[in-house]
Every structure is written in structure tokens, then in C-alpha cells.
Structure 1
Amino acid sequence: MITKIVIDNFMAHEHTELELGPGVTILTGANNTGKSAVVEALRCLATNPVRSPNPALYIRHGAKEARVEVEVDDGTRVAWVRTKRWAKYELWAPGAEEPEEYHKLQGRVPEDVAKALRLDQVELETRKDSVDVHLGNQRDPVFLLNQPDSVMAEFFAASTESAHLLAMQNALKMRVRDAKREERDLTDRIGRTADDLDRLAPLPDIARRMDEAEELERHAVRLERETPALEAALAEFGNLAGALARERAVGEALQGVQPPPPVRDVDRLKRHITSMDAVNADLARAERTAGPLAGLQVPPAAVDTGPLRRLIHDLDATRTALRKDADQRTVLAGLADPPALADTARLTAMVDELLVLRARSGRLARLETALGSIAEPSRPHPLGDLTAMVTEFAGLTTQISSRQAELDGLEADLQSVVVALEERIRALGCCPVCGGDLTADSFLDHGCRHGA
């Protein structure tokens, strides 16, 4: 007799332990609480199903394996472990610390395991399938209530516990009626759930439209990142255009300026200025001398010394001329006769041209100094591409606004659908298929997949 059942990650059970007392054990509770899953776990332990139904359906969503373990009254423990690819048994003899494992079963139950469980099915001569006298479902009772009388008679003939089974048959009839009533309720509930799922049919289209809106949003973000660079380029273009206009204005202003007059020799003017400075100095000394002499008597009348002054002047001039002639004769005594004078008209013209070129060179140097700090304007690019880009940017901005309005509408529709879905899930309480926990977030993320 089984005294304890431990179920891990099997269908809706994450971890369940059942301590069974002597006699009959009855499982009661609301619908979809895992009662049938306990029966199915014991059937898997007793029969090791391989292909029908898919063994992967027994594994709880998110787990890697399902495990069903029982302990019988003599202390023997038997465990059935199922992954998506293989199954194995573990058998602990009473008092053993390590289990004996059975692999590569190919849908069979090891003899030692079957002997320890004592849950063998009854084989009939006229039926291909065996009859399970230990486990049964609401729709498939233990005692063949839905089978012809001949099959039931054959079963009772093959059974060694017919008297006990007949006593239990009447109780099962009542359970079958209750089960049929519950089946009708579940059928109605399934219909209502199908209607609710039909109302959720627009969700894929909404998801697709949300993906399109997200793509448009990413495109808009990229355009927003590129907008500052475009604005900087436009600002730089405006600055360069202003600088070019100023340079053109300066060039046009310089074209109307007359060239400076040619530079003339100012040595004579310097000599005159020096003479004037000397005369002014003499006048100043004379004024300073006239001050002390103001109190002196008037000098006697001067005699006309003009002839004497002219004579002295003539003598000084004659003496100076004689001295200069003597110096020249001394210097020119060893020299050859001077060459004939050449025509200097061309040399004069070249000197004048050189002076003009020197003046122009000075003017050019001043212009280069003034224009040296001004960077050379870049070559203006054609505005056709920029105009097309600005037009495209304006069109994209309009598209972004329209797509944002559509996205707002989609978000409002999605919010209303999510609210309706949450209300329906709260009304259901749990997954109508597997009985597991069900929330709006998990349903929208992966739809409560039962084949995972």
C-alpha cells in the first residue's frame, strides 16, 4: 500500500507531498486544483508512457524534468523521472542509501519496480488494451462503466477481486453522473473562453503595428541625432556666406581707391627744415642776448660799410675759390680725362619705374598684412542636395507626427485590451487547460504554452 506521494514539476504541481493513511484516501477540492494530475502522476509511475500523450506535456512549464516518487508500507521507495528526451526509474530498497537506477526502458516498466508498486493492469482476452483496476479518471472510470456488458463480464471473470469491485461500481456510477455534469459545465466554460480568445484575435495585428511604430520611432530618433549636425552645417554655411560677402565688399571698396602718389626725394625739404631750425635757434639766442643789452646806450651811428663788406666778401670768395682750385688740381693731377657723358634718359625712366614698383610693393605688403588673418573662404557647394535634404527632413517630420498619433491610438487600444484581458483572467482564476497560474503579463509574453 502506498503511504506517501511526492510530486515535483509535474503538470500544475511544482512540489506536492501527500501523506496517505490506512484505508481509503479521497482527494477533494475545486476544479483545476490538480486532483486529476495526482492520478496521472501515479499512472505515469505505474506505466511509463512513451509516445501518447507527448511526455513533454507532463513537465511543468519552465522546468527541465518531472519527478514522481512514492513510498510503500514496507519502506521501499520508487521514483519515475521524465525529461523531454528520456525517462528513468530509481528504486530504493528498505534502508538503502543509494538507489538502483534503470535506464533505456523503451516504454517498459522494470520487473523490480512493478513488483514493488503492485499496480499491474488486468489483461483481457478479447481486448488489446489492459484494464487499470487501481487508477481511473472521471471520463474513463476504473470499472468499464462505458463499455458493453460482455466486456464487463469478461473483466469480472478475470478479476480476483470481483466482489469488492462490484461494491465500488455503484459508488462510481454516482461519480460518473457528477463528472458528466461537471463536463457540461466545463464545456460551457470552454465555449466562453473561446469567445474571449476570439475577442483577443486583433492582438497580433496590434503587435505588428506596434513593431512598425517602434521602427518609425527608431528612425525618428536617428533623424533627431542627425539634426544637430545638419543645423551646424547650415550655421557654418551661413557664416562662410557672410564672410564671402564681406570679402567681396572689401574687394569692391578697394577697387575704387586711387593709388598713392609716387614718393619724391625730400632731402631738400629736410635741409630747409634744418635751416629754419637753425634760424629759429639764432633768433632765440638773439632774444636772450637782447635782454641784457636793453639797458645799454645807443651805439654811435654806423658808417656805411657796404663797400668794405663787399670787398671783404670778394676777398673771402677769391681766397676760397683759389683754395678749391688748388685742391682740385692736386686731386685731378693723376686722373685721366673724364669720359664723354652718356644719355641718362633711360636710367631716369628705370629709376622712376623702380620707385613706382617699390610703392606698389609696399601697398601690397600692407594689404597682405591686413588680409593675412582672414581665412580663405571655402568653395561653396551647390544647394540642390541641401534643399532636397531639407525637404526630406520636413516630410519625415510630418510622418513622425502622424505615426506618433497612430502610436498613441494603438497604445490606447492595447491598454483597453489589456484591461479587458486582466478582468477575464481574474474571472477565470487559473489556466483552463493545465490549471496553472495565469496572469495578463505571462499570457501576453508567451501565451501559457503547455508544450514547453
Structure 2
Amino acid sequence: MINKIIIDNFMAHEHTELELGPGVTILTGSNNTGKSAVVEALRCLATNPARSPNPALYIRHGAKEARVEVEVDDGTRVAWVRTKRWAKYELWPPGADEPEEYHKLQGKVPEDVARALRLDRVELETRKDSVDVHLGNQRDPVFLLNQPDSVMAEFFAASTESAHLLAMQNALKIRVRDAKREEKGLDGQVARIAADLDRLDPLPELALRMDGIEELDREAARLEREVPALEAALAEFLSLDGRLARERSTGAALHGIQAPPEVEDVNRLGRHIGAMASVETQLGRAGSAAGALTGLDAPPRTEDAAPLHRLIRELDDTGAILRSASSRRTVLAGLSELPDPADTGELAAVVDELLILRARSARLARLTESLGHVAEPPAPQPLDKLGEVVSLISGLKEQFSTRQAELDGLERDLSAVVAAMDERIKAVGCCPVCGGDLTTDGFLDHGCGHES
């Protein structure tokens, strides 16, 4: 009994494995799902059909071979492999690691394979075709269910022992007849072989003659290999002989002629000739160029490209500024809105007061530095020089008043500049470079953290 069926690249099946249980197994399904292909695969395994119909019909499209394998209840595995040119069987006995392969089947099933499968067809005495009692098609069910009663009766009669003995006797007669026919054929074949052997009696003498011929052939080949060398030596000898004759005739013709004059150095002449040839080549090229340029208009007047260059540079700078602004805008797009500015009036007043104190401190430092160079007051002098001192002091007071007026003007200017700067910083609100908080005091102290 078959326990497992494995089908690879057979008709519509790419790879199908069927585990069969004990008893009857029924395949059901819609049309064109491969049910009949399973039955056909088992039939090919059991009968090894010949090349008609075309074996390519069994092989799935795109594959090189079809394979049908079954495993029976005793552990034996049998596989049928079909290509477009040949078929073979593989048989694994129980427990075997490597299969036994059967080739050159000539449309038959090996006896070992048939014995393992036990799917033989039944031969009937009155029918030419055997009966398949194991497999059947959809319209040709198994076990003669669509055959006449006489055929079924003959089948059951063939299954009895007497009918089986008669069938064995008929088979034995057929085998004896075939054996006698084969014996006659073999006798005729032996006679033909003996006649062929008689015709081969002169072979030893022919073999001796062939050995001599082969020796002569080797000698001829050796001489043939030496002929080109002899021909080359003869040609060289003839060439040298002719050259010697020409030399002798030349020597006889030159006999009595004066010696040739001394050869002068012609390197300068060669350089001069080369220079002339180069000049002639350049003249030819110039003439060709002049002929080609005769019909052309005069080149247009060149314009000053400096403004265009400046415009292009300005456009490049503007494009760079726009790209930078676009990238900065892209970076700032994800930032949150600026917080509402707080009231900085009191802070501005404190900053102004600090600035004034800083200016006064700087002025006091300058005054201290100026007074540090002043000498000690002179010793009292006679009163006649007091007038001169008084007039000098009066001049100094006037100078001090003038300098004090200038200093007050500078302080007013500084206060105006600080006020204008404070208004400008309040309008800006934050540092345009880093986006941090910006105050007048912080800007004047350290430029909002940036190097000035």
C-alpha cells in the first residue's frame, strides 16, 4: 500500500506531497486543480509510458525534468524521473542511503520496481490489451466498471488457479518459441562472425607491412622537416653568390677613380632645410586660414565688461544673502513667537544713572591724572608778584570754565547718544546675530557677548 506521494514539476504540479491514510483515499476539488494529474503521475510511475505522446507534456513548463516518488508501507521508496530525452527509475530499499538507478529502460518497467510497487496490469487470454485494476481516469473508472459483463467474467475467471496455470502454460510456450527463434538468430549470428573471422586471417601479415610503412612514413616526415632548412641554406648561398658577383663588378668599375672628397658637416644645412620646410608649412596654413576668413565680417567692437562683471558679482552676493536668509528662515520657522516685551522704563533710568556716574568717574579720573602732574604751590613771594599770580589764576579759571563748558557739552552729547541708542535697542528688541536679549548697558559693556 502506498503511504506517501511526492510530485515535482509534473504537469500542473510544481511540488505536491500527499500523505495517504489507511483505507480509501478520495481526491476532491474543482476542475483544473490537478486531480487527474495525480492519477496520471501514478500511471507513469507504474507503466513508464513511451515517447508517444510527447514526454514534454509531462514536464511542467520551465522545468528540465518531472519526478514522481512514492513510499510504500514496508519503507521502500520508488521514483520515476522523466526528461525530454530519457527516463529512469530510482529504488531505495528499506534503510538504504543511496538509490539503485535503472537506465535504458526502452519503455519497460524494471522487475525490482514492479515488484516493489505491486501495480501490475492483469493480462487476459482473449484480450490484446491488459487490464488496469489499480488506476483509472474520470471517464474510465477502475476495475472494469464500464466494461461488458463478459469482460468482467473473463477477468474473474483469469484470477482462478486453473486459469492462472493455463496462462502460465501459454506464457511458457510463448517463451520457448521466442527462445528457439532467438537461438536460430544467434546461430546465424555465430556463422556470420565465423565468416568475418575467416576474412580477417591476413591481418598479421598486414600488421607487419603496416609497421614497415609506418617506419618509412616517419623517415619521410623527418626528411620533409629537413627540406625547408636545406632550401633556406641554398637560397642564402645563391644570394651571397650574387652579392659577391655584384661587389666584384662594382670594384672593377671603380678601379682607377679618384678618392671622394672629404665629407663636410651638413647638420647646419639640415637644420636650415628643416626651418625652411616649417616656414613653408606655416605659410600654407596661413594661406588656407586667410582664404577661409576672406568672406567673414570684421569682429565686433569689444565693450567694457567691468560694469557687467560688477553686476554679476552683486547678483552673486545678493543670491548668497537670499540663500542665507532662506536657510535662516527655515531654521527659525520652528521657533516659538517672541515673548511680550516687559516695561523697561525703570531699568532705562537706572542705566542712564549708571552711565552718568560712569562718565563722572571717568572725568574725575582724568582730573586726578591731570592734577597729578601739577607742582606744589610755590612759597610766598613778595606782594609785588601777587598781582601776577592773581592774573594767572584768573586766566586758569577762565580756562577751567571753558573746559568745564566743553565737558558739559560732551556729557549732554553722550546723554543724547545714550538716549537714542536706548530707543533704537528698544525698537530692535533682541540681538540680530544671536537672538538674545539686548540692553543698552549690556551693549555698551560687552556688545551683547559678541566681539566688537
TM class by smaller structure: 0.3 to 0.5
The two structures have a TM-score, normalised by structure 2, of 0.36
The two structures have a TM-score, normalised by structure 1, of 0.36
**Larger relative contact order (CA 8 Å, sep ≥ 6):** 1
